[in-house]
Every structure is written in structure tokens, then in C-alpha cells.
């Protein structure tokens, strides 16, 4: 399954459904999360996605040009950074200490959290366990990378 693609995120969504008990234990999550994958070779390769979390799962995935227009916050990084994170998740059965979303975003590099205001930025912190569990589902996918 190719990353980035709607199909890849939908496959994560299915993993989350199969892991419903864990997501219920974490509690519901209301957030619109943008994911921006920057091409390593220029802006023409940029891809954007919007993941809508509602209740105990991710309800929909859409590809959009500018996720920042609709999302509470956007996780933005180069494809190479996403690749490293996903490969780490796959290798370790979940992100290791140095590859969690929070670890990778805190310095603003390699992944940047972009939000219109601080309240929306804080949404990333409020539901962080849910987002991490969601991306950790990548351990069950066979991911190929574009480019």
C-alpha cells in the first residue's frame, strides 16, 4: 500500500476499527487532523489529507490541496520524515521512544504542527494518545513509499 494515499490512511482507519477496545479505553476524540506530505524534490509533489476523528475512530479521510483550511492542526513534514517514522513503527511494533508524533513535532522538525491558533494547536495535545495509537496501526500495513 502506497504512502501517502487515501487508501493508506483508510487502511489505518480499518486497523483502528479492529482495535476498537483500545480506542474506546482512550476515550472519544473530536478532531480534524491535517497531514501534509512535502515532496523531497519540490512543492509540486506536495500532498495533503484531512482525517476526521469523531467518537472512537477516524470517520473519514479525504485528499485536499490545503488541509490547513479545514483542519484543527496540520502535521507537516517531508516524505523522508514520514518514511522514517512509519518504518520505525513497523520495525518496533509501534513508535519507539524517539519516533512518537510528539517527539518528532516538539522541536518543529522534522514534523511541524501548524494551527491557526493556540487552542487548535492544543487539540494535538488533548487527544495525543489516540493519534499515536492510530499511526501505530501502520505496523500492520505493508507500506511502499512514493518517489
Partner 1 sequence: MTTTGATIFNFEQQQYIENVNRGSYDLQWLKDERPTFGVHAKPKNPERGLTLQDINLAYAGEPEDAPELRTMAPRGAVVDPDVPDMGYEYNEKYLVWADNVVPLYEEATARQWSATRDIPWDQLKKLPEDLERAQCQIATLLTEVEMIASDFPAKWLWQMNQHFHEVKMFLCTQAMDEARHLEVFRKRALANGGGLMRCLTGTEVFLRTILHAPTYIQGSFLMHVLGEGLVLDIFRGGEFLAQNKAEKEIYRLCMQDEARHVSYGTMHLKYFLEHNPDREKALAEMHTLADLAEMGIPGFLTNPFIVEPLAVLMGGGVKHIDRGMDAVRLVWGRMREEYLSRCELAGLDRRSRTRIPADPPY
Residue of 1, 26, 64, 141 that binds partner 1 (CB under 8 A): 26
Q: Which H or E element spans position 10?
A: helix 6-18
**Least Å distance between CB 85 and partner 1?**
13
Strands 57-63, 47-54: pairing kind: antiparallel
**Least Å distance between CB 128 and partner 1?**
6
Q: Are 68 and 108 a contacting pair, CB within 8 Å?
A: no
Does position 43 bind partner 1 by CB under 8 A?
no
**Cell reading at 112:** 511541524
Identify residues 84-113 at the interface with partner 1 (CB under 8 A): 97, 100, 102-103, 106-107
Q: Give the x/- contact pattern for partner 1 in 123-142, rule: CB under 8 A.
A: --xxxxx--x----------
CA distance 18 to 15: 5
Task: List the one residue out of 69, 27, 23 whose CA is nearest residue 49.
Answer: 69
**Least Å distance between CB 127 and partner 1?**
7
Q: 134 to each of 40, 84, 89, 142, how far by Cα in Å?
A: 25, 17, 11, 16
Segment interacting with partner 1, rule: CB under 8 A, options 27-35, 39-47, 65-73, 139-147 = 27-35
* Binding residues vs partner 1 (CB under 8 A): 26-28, 30, 54-56, 97, 100, 102-103, 106-107, 117-119, 121-122, 125-129, 132
Amino acid at each position: 500500500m502506497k504512502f501517502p494515499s487515501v487508501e493508506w490512511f483508510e487502511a489505518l482507519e480499518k486497523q483502528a476499527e479492529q482495535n476498537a477496545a483500545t480506542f474506546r479505553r482512550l476515550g472519544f476524540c473530536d478532531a480534524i487532523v491535517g497531514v501534509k506530505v512535502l515532496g523531497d524534490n519540490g512543492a509540486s509533489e506536495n500532498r495533503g489529507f484531512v482525517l476526521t476523528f469523531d467518537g472512537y475512530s477516524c470517520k473519514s479521510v479525504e485528499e485536499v490541496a490545503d488541509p490547513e483550511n479545514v483542519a484543527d492542526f496540520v502535521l507537516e513534514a517531508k516524505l523522508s520524515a514520514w518514511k522514517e517514522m512509519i518504518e520505525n513503527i513497523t520495525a518496533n511494533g509501534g513508535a519507539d521512544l524517539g519516533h512518537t508524533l510528539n517527539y518528532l513535532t516538539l522541536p518543529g522538525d522534522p514534523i511541524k504542527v501548524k494551527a491557526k491558533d493556540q487552542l487548535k494547536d492544543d487539540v494535538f495535545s488533548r487527544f495525543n494518545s489516540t493519534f499515536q495509537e492510530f499511526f501505530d496501526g501502520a505496523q500492520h500495513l505493508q507500506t511502499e513509499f512514493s518517489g
